[in-house]
Structure 1
């Protein structure tokens, strides 16, 4: 039950102030209230429907009357577009969805990314995923830390894909639905060699790059020297850059880089390229997207006067990404399946030698929004009240 409240209409009759008995004040524009009416006529009966287009209402909409009855706000406006309509909104809904500075700041903080401890590697067992509670605990670790290792996954072809379908649809890319990472005689990608890989995010040239990556250790013989996995939380790195070098941070938010993969020799030729900034901030100034892949950068297409500042900021950020205190470092065991947020975590690999043994990982992608949806639905089904997590999909929640 929401606290009791008093109403006050602004002098221009465009804003309603709800003064709660605990001292809190919610201010809402008349249009916000009207367009969020919770009556049966206004709430869509199914997704994609709106009973009245917003352009049917007058530009100079004002509040004619407002009062509270039975813990429901009733509001009448001038030139109502629906016949015999009164806006009705439960007071509890208004309090829960208050958008004052204090409530917005609290909501953003609750949803914000919390930086993990690189000395602690989150893990769950494959068996635990058989229950809703187990899936929820896995997803909690995934969203809290940006990744989680599932242990004891059967070392079978497409076993990772089977796990993927618990959380979302498999995302197909130019590499297909499922792909194998192992040393090849004539590789077309650095991943298919024994060389170390620098910190990067996969496929940033896509309009919407894959959100979740899965890598399943099918074979990782003890005789293989090296090949350890590395992860860095780029949101942590960006936070450090913003605090230590605010001007460099602003440059990477403003000046775009070109990401590309152009390969006309491969069996299925491809030409992908796009210009995007490394860091994107939202309406509130919070980081909501980071893109990083030094190995897939094409011709820089910016004004000459921005080049010096861009490369200075770029190098500074790269040095932060390489700081050992930010690095998660571990060696996968056969049967381990690492699942990580490709919109948040930058991954790398130590170089390795395999004179007699084999290092073979099988991977695929799924959509981050599907993963988040599964998490929120499971929380609802299990009766757990959680804040929608910020996860790198260009939204703070």
Structure 2
């Protein structure tokens, strides 16, 4: 270990010397254009040590001469910010995500909406949508002509659609094109999509392009982050169980058999922050991932969570109308719909999580 003084905070950093050598950012070690390391880790001798080290540039940089003959110069702010305790502290202090219930989100609805005209003509509208998705997990684009082509254009202005066996853009009604309850007129409770995928879609978009000769079909949304935070506060043991127990899910139809197991609540192993909610009572497969002795604890924890999710004050209910595209975070926001009559056609697409977060980083909304 080596001790380095961080001038701005006055803290002393204790840093592993091999980590320090591995994080040299000189032109021989790091390609500043591709942002990639240039070497194999085994190129650094296992026993590499600092021969000489000194502060330069008024204590803002640190120069190290190594036993392998290499010389490294480090920005001490970079070394400070890269330490795990500071990464965790930044995550705990972050206000980038705002949990919500129904009264709160309705009061902030103006922050969620833009128009297609604004979206195609200004970068500010793109940023507003992405900011809303990061902060609240939901956003709307109004003034979109009710067809699949224009819906795709609105989404592609921000993100590339994700291709699945449903297609890139999907259009569905009550015709049973797939083995899914969504392809019906039935009530559909709060859920996230793709629990049976190894990597569930990060975002989902929906656009009601037609509803005639009938009533019903109101959509409703609930913030899983808000519900999970409440469970963590109210019943920490139930929260811990739901972050640990692997819940199997599956999707089966002709030519398709998808199956995956993961916890209902996934937390970041470093920061402890909630990363993903995975909730779908319809897609649950045979539950064989824990012993029968553990089942009761799981079911009680799951029921406790569902009771929070299904509280009416946590539901934001409205009817999707032709002309409005809703985009929401499939790792955070639960969605459902009421039963309906008549002829109703929906269109939309998924977006990969990595493309969503990449856009948010490019725009400087998240780190």
Give the TM-score normalised by structure 2. 0.89
**2-side partners of 1:123 and 1:343: how far apart?**
20
Residue 76 of structure 1 corresponds to: 65
**2-side partners of 1:22 and 1:213: how far apart?**
42
Give the TM-score normalised by structure 1. 0.83
Residue 310 of structure 1 corresponds to: 298
Do structure 1's residue 372 and structure 2's residue 357 form an aligned pair?
Answer: yes
Do structure 1's residue 85 and structure 2's residue 70 form an aligned pair?
Answer: yes
Do structure 1's residue 149 and structure 2's residue 140 form an aligned pair?
Answer: yes
Residue 238 of structure 1 corresponds to: 228
Residue 183 of structure 2 corresponds to: 192
Structure 1 gap segments, 5+ residues each:
1-13, 380-385, 389-397
Residue 10 of structure 1 corresponds to: none
Correspondence list, 1:12-27, <5 A: 14-20=1-7, 22-27=9-14
Residue 319 of structure 1 corresponds to: 307
**1-side partners of 2:123 and 2:8: how far apart?**
40
- The aligned length equals 356
Of 203, 224, 230, 2:194 maps to 203
Residue 109 of structure 1 corresponds to: 93
1:185 shift after superposition? 7.0
1:105 shift after superposition? 0.7
Residue 128 of structure 1 corresponds to: 118
Q: After TM superposition, which residue ranges in structure 1, 4 or more long, deviate above 6 angstroms? A: none
**2-side partners of 1:134 and 1:118: how far apart?**
19
Larger displacement relative to structure 2 (292-301 or 107-116) = 107-116
Residue 366 of structure 2 corresponds to: 387
Larger displacement relative to structure 2 (199-208 or 111-120) = 111-120
**Alpha carbons of 1:75 and 1:111: their partners in 2 closer, same or farther (altered >3 Å)?**
farther
CA RMSD, 1 decimal: 2.3
How far does the alpha carbon of each residue in 1:188-213 deviate from its partner, in whole angstroms, 9 at most, with x for none? Answer: 42212221101111111111111111
1:248 shift after superposition? 1.1
Residue 29 of structure 1 corresponds to: 16
Do structure 1's residue 257 and structure 2's residue 233 form an aligned pair?
Answer: no
